Amino acid sequence: MDTKDTKILAELAKNSRMPVQQIARKVGVSREVVTYRIKRFVEQGIIIDFYTTIDISALGYSRYGCLVQLRGISVEREKELLSWIVRHDFLTYASPLVGRWNLSFDIFARDQAHLKSVIQEILDEIREYLDSYIILPISIYESFPVKVTGESTSIKDYSSSQKIEIDEIDKELLQLLAKDARIEYREIAGKLRMTGNAIKYRIMRLQKIGVIKGYTIALDTWKLGYEFYNIQLKYLASRDENLVAFLRRSPQATYFYQSLGNENWNFDIGVVAKNSEELRAFLMQLREEVGTSIKIHDIYAIGEMIKSDHVPKGVFQ
């Protein structure tokens, strides 16, 4: 990739609904060049998704991380399982893993009864191959979708204090935006049988009341020459400002979760590295800057993302 590619990806990370003409002005190229390069990113699989960041807690949902350890599963059966996860109405951000755990994904649930129901569906699907699993409530989630390009745009998911009431048209609109943040007003208007101005007004209102937090992209870092790891660590200090500040600064940290209820770790950190030496350098810097307040529990490699971090359709139904 050249510097123009990097700048285009950075602008899309900040606002993936940004019009092509506006991106062209910011990057200093023609509209046609931007259109061509975005199309190329998609065709090459570098951009996996254009998605909308939505405050699910404002819609009455909570987020949970799930890690699964499998045994005796065939390649074909694993493909079927991954396909089932992609289709599931309440699962998102799914990837196969290399390490102690074999599979990770997140669950969106309305309440404990709904969470229990979704977990039961998962267990029914994989029971024959299940060795162990763990479910963790996620209290804070922050990601940096294009740090590998040098852009540190942050996508934050800090829960709202109260549920926000929206109507059925808003839900249909959010579902379309969650699936494709770059969908045009005209196409949305046709699907919802409304005018373009009415759609624009509703989107602006959803942004104003905090349901829509922003628009960004999901990148396939493997296509850019990076390996992808998750680090589980226990942060022992009473306040986490030092760790969070380091992760925001680090060019290799691409997300962090803060989870609750596990005695072994309370942070999951996503790290990109070109090789094991770069990963080791990151760990050394982490220890040097954060000090003795951390204890690394586990590290595993993340495979191809099979479902990106968009809100699944069940949330809107």
Domain range annotation of the chain: 58-146+220-302
Q: Which residue has the tokens 């007003």?
A: 185
For the chain, how far is it from start to end, CA to CA, in angstroms? 40
Residues in a beta bridge with 68: 103, 133
**162, pLDDT greater than 80:** no
pLDDT higher than threshold 60 for residue 158: no
The predicted structure's pLDDT at residue 157: 58
Quote the CA–CA distance of 121 and 20 in Å, as a whole number.
42
Give the separation between CA 176 and CA 206, rounded to whole angstroms: 14
Q: What is the mean pLDDT of residues 156-161?
A: 54
DSSP-derived secondary structure letter, 16? T
Which tokens sit at 272?
Answer: 């990109």
pLDDT per residue as tens digits for the range 75-108:
999 999 999 999 999 999 999 999 989 999 999 9
- What confidence tens digit (pLDDT) does each residue in 209-263 have? 989 989 999 888 888 889 999 999 998 876 778 898 999 999 999 989 888 767 8
Which pLDDT band holds residue 44 (cuts at 50, 70, 90)?
A: very high
Has residue 152 got a pLDDT over 80? no
SS3 124: helix
Spatial distance between the Cα atoms of 313 and 87, rounded to a whole number of angstroms:
10
pLDDT of residue 144: 81
In the predicted model, is pLDDT for residue 36 greater than 90?
A: yes
Amino acid letter, residue 114? H
So what's the pLDDT on residue 156?
62
Instruction: Report, in this order, helix, strand and coil percent for the chain, each rounded to 5.
Output: 45, 30, 25
- Tell me the three state secondary structure of residue 307: strand
Instruction: Find the angle CA(197)-CA(200)-CA(203) to the nearest 5 degrees.
Output: 150
- DSSP summary character for residue 289: H
* CATH architecture assigned to 58-146+220-302: 2-Layer Sandwich (3.30)
Task: Judge whether residue 129 has pLDDT over 80.
Answer: yes
Q: How many Cα atoms within 13 Å fall on the side-chain side of residue 82?
A: 21
Amino acid, res. 255: Y
CA 134 – CA 164 distance, rounded (Å) = 30
- How many CA atoms does the CB half-sphere of 34 hold within 13 Å? 21
CA–CA distance, 307 with 169 (Å, rounded to integer): 25
Looking at 3-12, 172-181, 232-241, which range is the least confident one?
232-241
Nearest to 18 by CA among 218, 173, 27, 211: 27
pLDDT computed for residue 258 by the predictor: 86
Q: What pLDDT, on a 0 to 100 scale, did the predictor assign at position 263?
A: 80
More confident residue, 259 or 299: 299
Rounded Cα gap, residues 167 and 140, in angstroms: 27
Band of pLDDT at residue 155, cut at 50, 70 and 90: low
List the beta strands (DSSP E) in the chain: 47-54, 62-70, 91-98, 103-109, 130-143, 155-158, 212-219, 227-235, 253-259, 267-273, 294-302
